[in-house]
Structure 1
Amino acid sequence: MNSTNRVSSEQGAIILQYLARALFAVLAVIYFHHTPQFFVTVPESTPWLIAGAYLGLQLLLLVSRADYAVILASTLDMVVLGVVMLLDGGEPPPTMALLFLAVLSNGLLYGLKRFLVMLLAAEVVLAIVLPIRMAYLPEGATQPASASLFLLAALTVCMIYFGLMIWRNQVLGRSALEAAWNDPQTGFISRAALVSTAGWMIPLHDRLSSPLTVVLLQHDDLNGLADVIIQRLRRSDVVARNDEHQLALLLPCTGGAEASQVIEHLRQRVPDLRAAVLTLNSSNLALEQVLHHLQQALPRSRDDDTHWLVYAPPLD
């Protein structure tokens, strides 16, 4: 895998996100170092201690590569930023912008669903922090409170706008992926190219009385899966990008048992791989129909070692 693929992989995105966290943590410490006073009375070394503990925990999550490390890291972001806003002596607190920056970065990296979850989490943090700050304001100090509420409203509107843009880009990206001949991420052909050019293999194998097996593979890290497939499969096998996390394989002259062995070898190299298999027995099937049938069967698979492989029922 070259350097471009490393950066575009999920692990590369996690590393870049950690570097961004470290940069903003340093900037926050510098900001607090030049702040005349904190909102609450704490030792001057508190921002340094919080930043050190925060980056240390984030580094542990990065190294551990646990299943829920990314979610725990984002949760830690929200908690620490809530504490930082309670320390910020500015009114409105400038560190509030970091909270929405965390929401936006998650949306750009992990899509619209994560963006909405993080936006809800940010609103919960603000619903806790802002009343506490307002409770400690001097009596009659309405201007600082109004400024904080205005900043909150402005940032919320910006986040809604960015959320709509993320959704729009996802729709355009899916349309471009369907229309492209080659998938730029994996280097394989696209689904549209597979359906347009490989349909002839079904009647050919039926006339030759030779089995043709179609496999649908699903994994979160398609770059890693693509590297393994390139090394393990034959020249006669056809590989295509089918969906955001799916690859389609056409295995000529291969029965169901042989295809299962091939997929098991792949799963030994790529854990958490899920697959659906169908050996074709009719020349009247369209390849697009077969892929749709496998997509309906794939949700029956699970991540455990006994149910990761699904045999789709035959198509007439």
Structure 2
Amino acid sequence: MSTEQGVIILQYVARALFAVLAVIYFNHSDGFFFALPAVTPWVLAGSYLGLQLLFLLARVPHATLLASGLDLVILGVVILIDAGQPPPTMALLFLAVLSNGLLYGLRRFLIMLAAAEVVLAIVMPIRLSYGDDGGDLLNPAASASLFLLAALTVCMLYFGLMIWRNQVLARQSVENAWRDPQTGFISRAALTSTAGWLIPLHDRLSSPLTLVLVHDDDLNALADAIGQRLRRSDIVARYDEAHLALLLPCTATGAAEQLLADLRASRPGLCAALLTLHSANAALEQVLHHLQTAMPRTRPDEGHWLAHATPLV
């Protein structure tokens, strides 16, 4: 059910159920809007399901879009022959538009909504002009049909706004999980889940990897200062409310100290804890926690702003 093919099969099953429901409805109605043979609903349903099955099995290009277009065409015909006032089958058009939006996103929803309105703009004037009152919009039957049309249009617009809102919230949650919105750096979760491979890599290359935990009372100013001085290969992340974590690949202790000294020249209140790894015996989260335990040994005054964490065994 979670695969693309599973969704397509589920759509076909839903189309088949609604087609059967429409046939049952027409078989129990008094007649059609136009004079048609009684077998018409069966012919329409059979042709419709056969074409949908062809789209399902043949794997033609843009099969899902063609299937959605066929939905609108057949529903336009069904609404046209529905003798109900207002036609109950108009609700199926709403379901077709909404299901496309839920499955394929806002763009498909808007395309289907525009196409549905085109279908209704063709079908409804024909129904009104061939009605008993010859197109009189003030008669109760025509007013009921137009009210249903307006209500379904407003509902589709409302659900479109809800789909757009859900997409925006989902995108924001992904961005917040990956990127810290305050500093613009990646989050702690993103750091620990994606950067752990740097430790065994540098061990294999026999290259030092230096990790630093940095604190400043003005975290935004510190983030700006760090962003102007780091190399493209360096990694910066928001560790917690008060600290930034720096991963400096291929950087020895002396080079890391020089970088921190340059940062402190612009941010006098900076404090940092530093550890250079030469082996792959520790996990990234363990090293960062070890640096956090070393931070209480630092003070903003000169000579105590930098703490070297003890090597991990």
TM-score bucket of the superposed structures, by smaller chain? 0.5 to 0.7
* TM-score, with structure 2 as normaliser: 0.59
Aligned to 2:249: none
Structure 1 residues 68-147: aligned runs within 5 Å: 68-139=62-133, 140=136, 142-147=139-144
In structure 2, do the counterparts of structure 1 residues 109 and 208 end up closer, same or farther at CA, with 3 Å as the change threshold? same
Could you say which residue in structure 1 is the equivalent of 2:150?
153
C-alpha offsets along residues 125-160 of structure 1, whole Å, 9 cap, x if unaligned? Answer: 000000000110123572111111111111111111
In structure 1, distance between residues paired with 2:94 and 2:231: 55
Query: Is the alpha carbon distance of 1:191 and 1:42 closer, same or farther for their aligned partners in structure 2, counting shifts above 3 Å?
Result: farther
- The aligned amino acid for 1:33 is N
Paired letter, 2:3: S
Q: Distance in 2 between matches of 1:67 and 1:193?
A: 40
| Alignment partners' CA distance in 1, 2:139 and 2:4 | 46
- Provide Cα deviations, 1:243-278, integer angstroms capped at 9, x if missing partner: xxxxxxxxxxxxxxxxxxxxxxxxxxxxxxxxxxxx
The question of whether the paired residues in 1 share the 8 Å contact of 2:87 and 2:145 is answered with yes
Hey, what does 2:233 align to over in structure 1?
285
Cα deviation for residue 167 of structure 1 reads 1.3
What's the CA shift for 1:175? 3.3
**Which amino acid counterpart does residue 122 of structure 1 have in structure 2?**
A
User: Partner residue of 2:52?
Assistant: 58
Tell me which residue corresponds to 2:42. Answer: 48
Distance of 2:172 and 2:132 partners within structure 1: 55
Shift of 1:171: 2.1
Q: 2:163 aligns with which of 161, 166, 170?
A: 166
Asked if residue 24 in structure 1 is aligned to residue 18 in structure 2, the reply is yes
Q: TM-score, normalised by structure 1?
A: 0.59
Structure 1 portions without partners, runs of 5+ = 1-6, 182-189, 211-281, 290-316
* Aligned pair partner of 1:8 in 2, 12, 32: 2
CA contact (8 A) 1:178 1:191 kept: no
Aligned to 2:35, the other structure's residue is in SS state coil
Deviation at residue 168 of structure 1 after TM alignment: 1.6
1:104 touches 1:159 (CA, 8 Å); kept in 2? Answer: yes
- Give the total of aligned pairs: 205
Using the TM superposition, give the Cα deviation of residue 80 of structure 1 relative to its aligned residue in structure 2, in angstroms: 0.3
Q: CA deviation at 1:283?
A: 7.0
Displacement of 1:194: 4.2
Partner of 1:93, secondary structure, is coil
How far the C-alpha of 1:178 sits from its partner, in A, is: 4.4
- Whether 1:198 and 2:146 are equivalent positions in the alignment is no
**Conservation of the 8 A alpha-carbon contact between 1:179 and 1:192:** no
% identity of equivalent residues: 62
Q: Deviation per CA, 1:171-215, whole angstroms, max 9, x where unpaired?
A: 22233444569xxxxxxxx997444443465587578659xxxxx
Q: Secondary structure at the match of 2:91?
A: helix
Please list the CA deviations of residues 57-83 of structure 1 after superposition, one character each: whole Å capped at 9, or x if unmatched.
Answer: 101100112221000000000000000
Q: Could you list the per-position Cα deviations for residues 96-146 of structure 1 after superposition, in whole angstroms to 9, with x for gaps in the alignment?
A: 100111000001111111111100010000000000001101235721111
Cα separation, partners in 2 of 1:132 and 1:288, compared to 1, 3 Å: farther
Change (3 A) 1:22 1:197: closer
Say if 1:206 and 1:283, in contact at 8 Å, map to a contact too. Answer: no
The 8 Å contact of residues 203 and 283 in structure 1, kept in 2 or not, is answered as no
* Distance in 1 between residues matched to 2:195 and 2:34, nearest whole Å: 69
Consecutive unaligned residues in structure 2, runs of 5 or more: 179-185, 207-229, 238-313
Residue in 1 aligned with 2:182? none
Aligned Cα RMSD in Å?
2.9
> In structure 1, what is the Cα distance between the partners aligned to 2:193 and 2:60?
41
Query: Superposition pairs for residues 194-273 of structure 1, below 5 Å?
Result: 194-199=190-195, 201=197, 205=201
